Amino acid sequence: MQSPIVPLNPGYNFPPKSPHFPGKSPRLPPKSNLGRSRMASPFCRLRVNSKIGDITSLSSSSDGGFPTLSEYVGQGGANVGDDLVVLFGHLEYACKKIAALVASPYNTSLGEHSGIAGGGAGASGRDKPKPLDIVSNEIILSSLRNSGKVAVMASEEDDAPIWLNDDGPFVVVTDPLDGSRNIDASIPTGTIFGIYNRLVEADHLPTEEKAMLNSLQSGSRLVASGYVLYSSATILCTSFGSGTHAFTLDHSTGDFVLTHPSIKIPPRGQIYSVNDARYFDWPEGLRRYIDTVRQGKGKNPKKYSARYICSLVADFHRTLLYGGVTMNPRDHLRLVYEANPLSFLVEQAGGRGSDGTIRILSIQPVKLHQRLPLFLGSLEDMEELETYGDVQQKVNPGYEV
Ligand SMILES: O=P(O)(O)OC[C@H]1O[C@](O)(COP(=O)(O)O)[C@@H](O)[C@@H]1O
C-alpha cells in the first residue's frame, strides 16, 4: 500500500499543532514580556538581575516562573539593546524550526514539500529533496533577512557572504547544521553562530568587498555567539560577553528557559574528545599527550576517558559542562563559522580555545572558509596539552567517514 503523502512545510508548520503546541504563531520578542505569567517549572526558579548580563542573583521570579531567553536578552535581563533583541528573536525562531525539522519523521522528503527549499524539479515534476543543512541554511537566511537587523550573513553553506541590508547593524556568521552527516542515525546536531557589528567604515565599498571585509572580522570583535544543540533536549547556549548561559527549549510553552546560568567550565576534566582512529596520522606531541592522560600520568593523576560523538556542537557542549578537551587536530573545522564562536563561548566560561599554539580569537581570518586545527576546553588541560608543542596534525589524507 502506498503511504500517504504528509506535507511538511517548515515555513508554516512550526510550532506543530499538537496538545503541546496548540497552534500558536511564533513569538518574536515583545517590547516587554516580563510581566506575563507562565507555568511554573518543576526544574528551576531563576531570576535575572537587572544589571547588564548579571545573573548572579537567582531566586523566585515575581510571577513564579523563570527567565526565558527573550526576557534574558531584553530589558530586565542582559539588556543588550533593542536591535540585538530583535535579531536574537529571529535566530531563536529559526533554530526552533530547525529543531522541529531534524526531529521530524518526514525530514528525508522535506525538499519535496517545503516552500523554503524549492529545489530543481526532478523527473517526477516535483522538487528534489534538499539536504537538511541546505534547508537549515535557508531557514536562517530567511529569518535574518526578515529581522531587518543584519547587513550580511556568511554561512558555511554558501561560497560567498550574502549582503542583506545596508542599514542592518549586525553581521552574522553561521554553520547552520553542523554534524549533519549524523542525521540519518538521529545523532545530535547543532547550529553555530557568531554576531559582529557592521563595519561602518566599510559602508562606502562595493557590496562584494564590504560583505567580505565584514565577514572576515577577527573573533576578538564578536558581540555575541552561540550554538543550538539538537539532542534529547534542544539547548541554546550563548554569550554576549558577560558569561556563558544555556537555555533549554520547554516544549510545553515553546520558550527557551534559562537552565544553566553562568556556566563555568571545570579547570580540569577527565575526558578527551578526538577521532583517535587518526592516531597514526598524529604528530608525536599529540600522541604523547593522549597516551599520557589516558594512563593517568598527566598533571591530573586520573585516567582520562575518551568520548567522541563526531558532532562538534555535542562534543563541545559536553566539554563545557564536564571539562576536559575536545579537539580536531587536522585542518578541518572552520575559523569563521566554528572556531571563533565556540572559542568565545569557552573563554566566557573560563576555558581556552586554541589552534594548538595560539589563541583562536587572536587569529585574523584571511579566507572565508579557512580551516584550522581546533582545541577547546578546560584551562589547565589546555595549558598542559599546549606544552607538548607538536599537536597539530599536518597529514590530512582525506578520510571517507
Ligand atoms: O572527520 P573528523 O575529523 O572526525 O571530523 C568530525 C567533525 O567534522 C564535523 O562533522 C564538521 O564537518 P563538516 O563541516 O564537513 O560536516 C564536526 O561536526 C565533527 O566534529
Confidence of residue 113 (pLDDT cuts 50, 70, 90): very low
* CA–CA gap between residue 332 and residue 311 (Å, rounded): 13
Angle between helices 82-102 and 132-147 (to 10 degrees): 160
- Mean pLDDT value across the chain: 84
Distant-in-sequence, close-in-space partners of 4: CB < 8 Å, separation ≥ 6: none
The dotted CATH code for 69-260 is 3.30.540.10
pLDDT, position 92: 97
Q: What is the pLDDT averaged over residues 102-117?
A: 65
Per-residue pLDDT at 57 exceeds 50: no
Ligand 1 neighbours (beta carbon < 6 A): 178-179, 181, 275, 310-312, 328, 330, 332, 399
197-235 pLDDT, tens digit per residue, is 999 999 999 999 999 999 999 999 999 999 999 999 999
Has 157 been annotated as catalytic? yes
* CA–CA gap between residue 222 and residue 91 (Å, rounded): 16
pLDDT, position 218: 98
167-204 pLDDT, tens digit per residue, is 999 999 999 999 988 888 999 999 999 999 999 999 99
Query: How is the chain split into domains, by residue range?
Result: 69-260, 271-387
CATH class of 271-387: alpha beta
pLDDT, position 108: 67
Distances (CA, A) of 100 to 13, 57, 179, 233, 334: 9, 33, 16, 12, 26
pLDDT, position 129: 63
Has 175 been annotated as catalytic? yes
Has 203 been annotated as catalytic? no
Has 315 been annotated as catalytic? no
Amino acid at 395: V
Closest Cα to atom 14, ligand 1: which residue? 178
Which run of H or E residues covers position 238? strand 234-239
Closest Cα to atom 16, ligand 1: which residue? 179
Per-residue pLDDT at 131 exceeds 70: yes
| Per-residue cell: 83 | 536591535
70-81 pLDDT, tens digit per residue, is 999 988 788 899
270 within 8 A of 302, measured Cβ to Cβ: yes
Give the DSSP per-residue string, 279-297: GGGS-HHHHHHHHHHHTT-
Closest Cα to atom 6, ligand 1: which residue? 310
